[in-house]
Amino acid sequence: MATGRRNAGVLALFDVDGTLTAPRKAVTPEMLQFMKELREHVTVGVVGGSDLVKISEQLGKSDGDEQKSAPAKLPFPSLHASGLGLCSYPAAAAPVRGRRRRSGTAAMAAGGRRNAGVLALFDVDGTLTAPRKVVTPEMFQFMKELRQHVTVGVVGGSDLVKISEQLGKSVIIDYDYCFSENGLVAHKNGELIGTQSLKSFLGDDKLKEFINFTLHYIADLDIPIKRGTFIEFRSGMLNVSPIGRNCSQEERDEFEKYDKVFPQGWDKTYCLRYLEEFQEIHFFGDKTYKGGNDYEIFESDRTIGHTVTSPEDTAEQCRSLFISK
C-alpha cells in the first residue's frame, strides 16, 4: 500500500482452534502480536463454536503481569468473540491454496488506506495457533500489522473462554470481529452484536429430554476410558464427549475423531449474517476438507477460501495476499 493505512472494506475472518491457537490452548504472544499488526491493514474477526467466555480464555492477553491486571477484553476484535482487525491486503491477490470461487481484488483504498471492504477471517486451531496452543508473539504482532491493511476476524467452534485461552483475554478488541461458537455469539470491535441460545431455540423440555437421552447412552457405552464432564452446555450448542472433557491431552489426542451435530445452518457460516457490508471475505482454516469443521464456510459462495497447514503458513499466505504486494 502507498501509505499503509488500513483497508476497512476487507475482512479477514479466523477460526480459533487450530487456526489462531493450538486446539483448546491460549493464543501465543507471537500470534497475538501478528493479529494486532494485521488489524492495521484490514478488519479482523474470529468465529468459534464456543461461548465468549471460553473464546476469551484462548484469545485473551498472554503477556504475563499485564494480562493479570487487564480487564476481561480480548486482544483481537472478532465476529463472534470480536473482530481480529489484524490482517493486511495489498493491491492484488496472490494465488489461493484451496478452492477459490470468485476473484478477489484484495485492493487497498486510494492513497494506501485500509480497505474496509475486505475481510480476512481466520479459524483458530491450526490456523492462528498450533492445535490447542497459545498464539505466538510473532503471530500476534503479524495480526496487528495485517489490520492496517484489511479488516480481520476470527471464528471458532469453541466458546469465548476457550478462544481467549489461545488468543488472549482481549480477543474481542484485538480483532475487528470475534465469533465464538461458530458465530452464535458475535462481537464487533469489542461489542456484543448478536447471540443465539440453544435453550431458547429448543425449549427446556426438549433440551432436558436430549440431555437425559445422551447421558443414558454414554453410560451404556463400553469404551476404554471415561473421565467425567460428558456434556458441556454452551450458549448455542451442547458439547458431548463420550470419554469426558476431564481427560488428559494424550487421551484427548487419541480420541481425536468425533461427531459434532449442529442445527442446520449453525455451522461457521452462521457468522456471515453479520458481514453483509464486506465486498470480499477471505476465510483461512486448516480443516477445510469435507467433514472438517471449516468445510461449510470454506465452500460458501460468500467467501474466498484458503487452506492453511499451520500458523506460520497462515502468516505467509496473508503477507503474500495483503501486505507484500
Domains of the chain: 10-61+264-323 (3.40.50.1000), 119-196 (3.40.50.1000), 200-261 (3.30.1240.20)
Place of cell 507471537: 30
Lowest mean pLDDT among 79-88, 96-105, 273-282: 79-88
Q: Beta-carbon neighbour count of residue 245 at 10 Å?
A: 15
Q: What is the pLDDT of residue 268?
A: 93
Catalytic positions are 123, 125
Lowest mean pLDDT among 15-24, 163-172, 228-237, 281-290: 228-237
Q: Which three cell numbers stand for residue 315?
A: 502468516
**232-285 confidence digits (pLDDT tens):** 776 666 777 777 767 777 666 666 555 454 555 578 999 999 999 999 999 999
Which residues lie across from 208 on neighbouring strands? none
Q: Which three cell numbers stand for residue 215?
A: 447421558
pLDDT reading at 39 higher than 60: yes
- Which phi and psi (to 5°) does residue 48 adopt? -145, 160
Q: Beta-carbon neighbour count of residue 250 at 10 Å?
A: 8
Q: Which helix (H) or strand (E) holds 160?
A: helix 160-167
pTM of the model: 0.58
Binding-site residues for alpha-D-mannose 1-phosphate: 132, 234, 245, 252
| Across 42-47, average pLDDT | 86
Predicted confidence band at 58 (pLDDT cuts at 50, 70, 90)?
confident
**122-158 confidence digits (pLDDT tens):** 999 999 999 889 999 999 999 999 999 999 999 998 8
pLDDT reading at 3 higher than 50: no
Which amino acid is it at 155? V
